[in-house]
Structure 1
Amino acid sequence: MTTRLFRVFPWLPDAQTPDRPGHPLYVSPTQGAGRIDGPDRYRVLYASTSEVGAIGERFGDLEEWSDAMFVVPSLVGGTRALAEYSLDDPLLDLDDAKALLDRELRPSRVVTRDRGTTQRWARAIFDEGRWAGVSWWSFWNPDWVSCGTWAVDRLELVSVAPLADRIDAVHEARDVLARPWRERR
């Protein structure tokens, strides 16, 4: 079964290889504080199964939204973009009660902000050797599915679009999260 994944990322159109910042498959070598990170064992690319979910996850902590969100000051010439990927390998669905029961994992431990806890269960799932990553419900909206895959090398890039070109999806996520939009002056 193919899974479609979406990710908001700082895009640099000239970044031609995944080891370059700004490439759609780039994962920073210093990344390690995320929910399922295991930097000593694997890299993780975080995504969502919907455009709106990816946008909501990326900007959910902002109290006010504007087109300033599209700017990436730390990446000269970069802009925020929305990438679509396909993955033919299975993700473990942690919104499935049986998956949780089989691992003696409580739902509250899936979305806890305690990264030591989440990284422990993620390593155990990685060690099963059956999964390309995991999916769970979004902290911001349980109808959104968040994912992390350690099979970054098996992702197929489908498309990339500047986030400004996906403004309808941006506003849909903003509406779901009840965030005001501020026009730049």
Structure 2
Amino acid sequence: MGNLCLMLTYRIIPYKEEAKEGERFSATYLPAPEGRGRIDNPRRYRAWYLAREPSAAVAEIFGQWPTWNSEMFKFGTSGADYRGATRSLVTFRLPDDLPVLDLDQAFALHERGMKPTSVIERNRPATQSWALRIFNETNHAGDRLWSGVQWWSFHRPHWRILGLWDINPIPISVEALSVNHPAVIDAADALDKLLES
């Protein structure tokens, strides 16, 4: 129970085509953890935050923005190092048999003494605490049981968000975002955002 097969996942990044693999602005770059993410535990692991749907990845980045237009894909005054970067949608491939604990399963929560509010609450010490407990779950041989967890998006419950540790997802495509990108249009429609040119 709770084991979920994955194939494609999505993430929005600042992207530069000339960036080498693993470098800042590349599809494989994972920023140093700052401890602010929902499942962050920087002393134990680095976490990839990914979405199961392209529109969910868009919503995770732009969902709180009041106005959606072409300006939101630019970096404005973010600094000279961002010059030439584009906000882009990266599609990643993951192993089909990756063991991910699905926190949308009642039994998974019950086994760990958790409630749905434990998952979605915006209380970072609490969510990071249960994430570390799940990270430390092992089988009888001492092997870690899970490569990460999945929960539902704050913006829409049918969108699924992943937090993965100790894994390097493989990027298979990078697409620059615009107001005409299907994922942006779908997210705007789901969140009732007016898209302006």
Partner of 1:108: 117
Q: Residue 133 of structure 1 contacts residue 149 of structure 1 at CA under 8 Å; is this kept in 2?
A: yes
Decide whether aligned partners of structure 1 residues 113 and 168 sit closer, same or farther in structure 2, where only a CA change above 3 A counts.
Answer: same
Equivalent position SS for 2:122: coil
Matched, 1:132 2:141: no
* Post-superposition offset of 1:169: 1.6
Partner of 1:147: 162
Q: For residue 83 of structure 2, what is the amino acid of its counterpart?
A: V
Q: Residue 25 of structure 1 contacts residue 152 of structure 1 at CA under 8 Å; is this kept in 2?
A: no
Structure 2 length as normaliser, TM-score? 0.86
Number of residue pairs matched by the alignment: 181
Distance 1:152 1:11 in 2: 21
Q: For residue 189 of structure 2, what is the amino acid of its counterpart?
A: D
* Post-superposition offset of 1:72: 2.7
Distance 1:31 1:67 in 2: 29
Equivalent position SS for 1:152: coil
- 1:24-63 CA distance string (max 9 Å, x none): 1222114320100111111111111010111111110101
* Post-superposition offset of 1:90: 1.7
| Rg comparison, structure with higher value | 2
**CA RMSD, 1 decimal:** 1.5
Distance 1:35 1:136 in 2: 11
Partner of 1:118: 127
Unaligned 5+ residue runs, structure 1?
Answer: none
Q: Residue 12 of structure 2 contacts residue 87 of structure 2 at CA under 8 Å; is this kept in 1?
A: yes
Runs of 4+ in 1 over 3 A off after TM superposition: none
Decide whether aligned partners of structure 1 residues 181 and 2 sit closer, same or farther in structure 2, where only a CA change above 3 A counts.
Answer: closer
Matched, 1:91 2:103: no
